[in-house]
Structure 1
């Protein structure tokens, strides 16, 4: 079967004539063409009669117009392709007959005209005149970039440094002298697929859809951010209410303990107005004074509360007090265990500098002597019951993680 089209071996485009192949070559720099028995499609719209050369073009036509019915007239329009390049008939010189045979002397070949300014720039860049002229001619004579790209793609061609020649009677001009390299690429795609792949309507539609997608995504992210903020706010409110309940419970328990110990309230403003009335109704009996054990426990609680930001320091103070009390209980006759220098740096760091440390030792029987320089527990004032109770309270304070919380 005879060839009905020319196929570009570089991109696969089907072209109906030699002219189209030449234009395709000039725009894309493709040079590998061969005859093909595959005809260029001719899909004619039944509604408006527009011919479409490819399925892509018909799909875009349907999208733009809504027309869906096409008649395939490819077989009707397909005809054997002529590989002869049409030549201009010069009646005055009688150079060609109608059948294309030469009737006189061979055609004169000349160097094609190219943009002189671009040619000078290419020569200034180091290209030879022949290479620069060839690059400008075959790249469309449009820009320096297109010419340089053509040279890079064809630098291994055997005739790269030969001056190009065209028939003298052929008007040589750039196919699209005003096109930019980007426009040349788009035109090459038009030749390949037979349709403008980026029509203005489709381009605008894509822009609109893109903007809508971005706006939808922004709104979704904004709603998700608002939802998370509302959730965090609700969690903080719930946490705040829980903390307030715990604080109220602690205040009530603290007021109750101070009442049992016979101590006045720390701040009357924090005591609920109903509390005194309830207490008065509970019993008319006099409040008993707090025992020494209760005073020790309250002293340790106060120490922990006053230094609640440093658990390690509180625990070290409790362990140091337990060591002092234990040494006296085990060795009541040893004066060195019953006498503590107050200005001793180790004692100050561990116990003396903490509110409640010295008070606890005084509850155990220690007294300040020699102008407050020492804490001393006289032998006759050593009470094993008191020391054992102090040791039990200290052990509880050390081992109970909730000690002093309530």
Structure 2
């Protein structure tokens, strides 16, 4: 299969033509190119029509705009690559005629007015360029030659000595310009070149400004899409959290009903019917208060305490996270070593404790919910051995771990 692209051996970039390879070489100084059978992709965005040359470009476009659908039109434009660099110069009719005549006649340098030639050389033009201008300008004198040079200064053969058949007649001498006219023509030529350069710079600047505006719009659109997606994710997260809380309450309610039914069965009482249950509502409520629901209530108090701590210090995220980690350590040490008094006693005046927990509103309250109590002299937080509740401490650890790992904790 013939090659359809050129691959840069230095960076792996695929290029569609020799011209692109030359531009790539000028920009990067890479020179190792090889013919490749892998075509340059032509992925067109179905939403905005933007073409992408590679999967990387299409991924970047998707990230900026959110557009994900692309039409692969690579096969429509793929064709064998021409490794011959095209000749961009267009020969003038006079060059064509001269080339055709040169096949049958000897070619010589045309005769031109030597005085005008010297004047052009004095203005800074090469002899070949000046001779070519005098021969092909078609008008006599220095002015026509200078105008011809301005119009043809981008020709590829501008500095090649023209050749004509030996039998061609020389043009009659052309009048020369005065020194003042030479100076004026030189200034005019320089002014034209300056204006042309300024116009090209303005054109390039306009194109750059359009590109900057386009990129800015794409970035703003990508930012807006990202914010919308983040808002949707947050709403979905809140909805899922509320649904989970609802299911947890429903499980607790079902557990309470099952416990009631089990106790009635053990006591030999008949199953409770709705009509008989209504008069005994105060008793049922009293039994509810005696069921092991208190840990759940304490867990909610712990969660609310941690949320308040984070909201009260929302501008000190690093310090809040450090406080959560310290509280997690305190609870974990008591769970692992319930008989060690040193893990159940915290000095309130300790500077490290004040920096990490005591100085934050809600830190000491959370420890009190875990079972710590202030001593009479107010110097320590102490948890008596008989008041160590492993279940409560484990619940506190779970809440702290959730607060540490959940980036949205305290903002919902």
TM bucket, shorter chain: 0.3 to 0.5
Q: Highest CA radius of gyration, 1 or 2?
A: 1
TM-score (norm 2): 0.42
TM-score (norm 1): 0.42
